[in-house]
Structure 1
Amino acid sequence: MASISLRNVVKRYGHGPKANPVIHGVNAEIADGEFIVIVGPSGCGKSTLLRMVAGLEEISGGEIAIGARVVNQLEPAERDIAMVFQNYALYPHMSVFDNMAYGLKIAKVPVAEIKQRVDKAAGILELGHLLQRKPRELSGGQRQRVAMGRAIVRQPQVFLFDEPLSNLDAKLRSQTRLEIQKLHRELGITSLFVTHDQVEAMTLAQRMIVMNAGVMEQFGTPEEMYHRPASTFVASFIGSPSMNLLKHAPGTREGVITGIRPEHLDVRAEGWAVTVETTELLGAERLIYGRLGAEGLIVRVEENAAVPAPGSVIHVSPRADRIHHFDAATGKRV
């Protein structure tokens, strides 16, 4: 196992004045054994950053170190990493056992050790009864576990996951997240996991890197992202539904955006007057969509709360200790 250091990492496509920068000086220190999630919308640079750690993309500037070694000039095979892709990339003509063992056979690992490693990984991933099956005989979740097993048997210093759950349905995604958490607890291998799904990020990460247009907006724990977002981008991206961001909240001075999460607004007899547009039942809770003046506002209440009619006016009060302020010009936290 090993730590990972990202030191002013830059990626540009092309050269000279026409070069297109896509990663703008990312700095992060990742401890040995940490599980880090890189999250952001499509095109933000998260997969490019992961591929630079893997050696699949050339670094335009800065340094990447795995353990004590700077790996900028090392080939992927020399970096002691294992990668799990969105596409399972299994050999269709090989059994599960042979798919998991293939890399070890190429590396000329002794047959007895190959069997021991594959059997151990299969036990962790509950694949022991499937070892003689072909990929076509497996479900999507089982194929993804085989892909993870293939990475485990390598016994790498670092695991890299590039949106590995994107091809699974919602139930399987949730189940596989639990399996990945269990896997990390058992193996303790330093892991970088890329996703565009903020719920996936919040549930898996020990710490998160939030990317926006090639810039690292914030690096911290899920709790820090949720309770102290560094910018309006993080505030709107983390949390479902996202934080209310109001340019003209009552009592706010000019040039400041007020942020308040839907669950931190309480329906009261007095307070901000909100015109109700619609409501949405989400099982144990209900969302009220309305307008505060010209701005949209979402309020989260318990499912057994009174349901206001569209067009009616309710009054809400923000909890004073849950209000956030951001600079309207920069979007940064005040």
Structure 2
Amino acid sequence: MASLSLNNVVKQYGKGKHALQVIHGVSAEIEKGEFIVIVGPSGCGKSTLLRMVAGLEEISGGEIRIGDRVVNRLEPAERDIAMVFQNYALYPHMSVFENMAYGLKIRKMPPAEIKARVDKAAGILELAHLLDRKPRQLSGGQRQRVAMGRAIVRQPQVFLFDEPLSNLDAKLRAQTRLEIQKLHRELGITSLFVTHDQVEAMTLAQRMIVMNAGVMEQFGTPEEVYHRPASTFVASFIGSPPMNLLKDVPGSRGGTVLGIRPEHLDIGSDGWEVRVETVELLGAERLVYGRIGGEAVIVRTDESQPAPAAESIIRVRPREDRLHWFDAGSGKRVAA
């Protein structure tokens, strides 16, 4: 495994006044063995950033290091990385064993070592009983595990995952997330994982890079990103439902936006007046959607509290130690 360093990495298409910059000076130091998730909405540049690390996209500025080597001008095959895509890209005429072994055969590795590596990876991924099957005989989750196995046998310095779970249904996504966590614990290989799913990011990441329009908005642990978002973008993107962002409530200050998570608003006999619009019943919890004046607000409660009726008026009190303040112009976090 190796460390990974991004130093003011820039990507633009075209030159001069017609140039379109899509990655704006991303810098991050990733330690050996870390599992880093790059998360953001569609079109934010997360896959472009990953492809630059892989060597599939040229960088326009800055520096990428894998271990002690600057890899800016190295071909993908020279970077000692392995990549897993959302489409499994398996050879349909080959067995699972042959698919996993193919890259090693191309490198002319001895057959005995190839078998040892494939058998070890198949054991980790619970594929040992499927090695003779063809891809058409496998489920989507099994095919994705084969694709991961093909990457594992290469024993790379860095794993790159480009939305590998996006083709799976919700149950398989959750199951495969657990398998990826287990895989990382066993192998400890430095990993970059791209996703647009913030739940996936929160559950997988040791640290996460939150991207927005080519800019790295925040780089931190899931707990840091959730509990101390660096901007209104991060506050609204990370969390389901997102943080409430309010400009005109009692106690707010000029030029700032007040942020409060839905679970940090307590229904009671005093506090802000909320007109209820609708209530979602979600088993053990309820989401109350309403308005404070003209601003939308969401309140999360548990099943122990009675659900308020639509069009009723309730009062909610924010927890004072859970308030977040952001600059109304830049959207950046400011001191309380």
1:117 aligned residue: 117
> Which segments of 5 or more consecutive residues in structure 2 lack a partner in the other structure?
none
1:167 aligned residue: 167
Where do 1:1-334 residues align within 5 Å? 1-334=1-334
Letter in 1 for 2:121: A
Letter in 1 for 2:22: V
Deviation >3 Å, runs of 4+: none
Letter in 2 for 1:301: T
In structure 2, the residue corresponding to 1:239 is in which secondary structure?
Answer: coil
Deviation (angstroms), 1:305: 1.1
Deviation (angstroms), 1:304: 2.9
In structure 2, the residue corresponding to 1:87 is in which secondary structure?
Answer: coil
Letter in 1 for 2:80: D
| Superimposed CA distance per residue, residues 1-23 of structure 1 (whole angstroms, 9 cap, x where no aligned partner) | 10000000000001122110000
Deviation (angstroms), 1:282: 1.0
In structure 1, the residue corresponding to 2:156 is in which secondary structure?
Answer: coil
Superposition TM-score, scaled by structure 2 size: 0.99
> Which segments of 5 or more consecutive residues in structure 1 lack a partner in the other structure?
none
Deviation (angstroms), 1:51: 0.1
In structure 2, the residue corresponding to 1:90 is in which secondary structure?
Answer: coil
Which moved further from structure 2: 243-252 or 161-170?
A: 243-252
Deviation (angstroms), 1:101: 0.1
Letter in 1 for 2:253: R
Return the alpha-carbon distance in structure 2 between the equivalents of residues 292 and 5 of structure 1. 45
Letter in 1 for 2:96: V
Deviation (angstroms), 1:140: 0.2
Identity of aligned residues (%): 82
In structure 2, the residue corresponding to 1:147 is in which secondary structure?
Answer: helix
Which moved further from structure 2: 61-70 or 297-306?
A: 297-306
| Superimposed CA distance per residue, residues 211-237 of structure 1 (whole angstroms, 9 cap, x where no aligned partner) | 000000000000000000000000000
Letter in 2 for 1:20: L
Matched pairs, number: 334
Letter in 1 for 2:304: N
Deviation (angstroms), 1:283: 1.2
Give the RMSD, CA atoms, in angstroms.
Answer: 0.4
In structure 1, the residue corresponding to 2:36 is in which secondary structure?
Answer: strand
Return the alpha-carbon distance in structure 2 between the equivalents of residues 137 and 249 of structure 1. 58
In structure 2, the residue corresponding to 1:29 is in which secondary structure?
Answer: strand
